[in-house]
Amino acid sequence: MGEGQLADLFQPIADALRADSHDGVISFESVYLSGNESFKGDFRLCMERFRALFG
């Protein structure tokens, strides 16, 4: 997370949700693969950044 086509959009999206006082669920679906063939492990690699933005 933080690279690719949507990288520059995550912070503005998070800011807009906060400005709107969003208190619902935010779903994160990652298809990132680092080369180790483990979606589960690579999903976990993205969670720290996701929590920093949306947590």
pLDDT, residue 40, reads 81
Q: Please report, for residues 22, 25, 45, 46, 55, the alpha-carbon distance to residue 34 in angstroms, rounded to integers and kept in the order given.
A: 32, 27, 9, 11, 24
CA pair distance 30, 40, nearest whole angstrom: 9
pLDDT, residue 44, reads 83
The pTM score is 0.74
CA pair distance 31, 3, nearest whole angstrom: 12
Taking the CB of residue 34, how many other CB atoms lie within 10 A of it?
A: 10
Please give the average pLDDT of every successive group of 10 residues along the chain, which has 55 residues: 84 96 89 76 84 90
CA pair distance 15, 35, nearest whole angstrom: 32
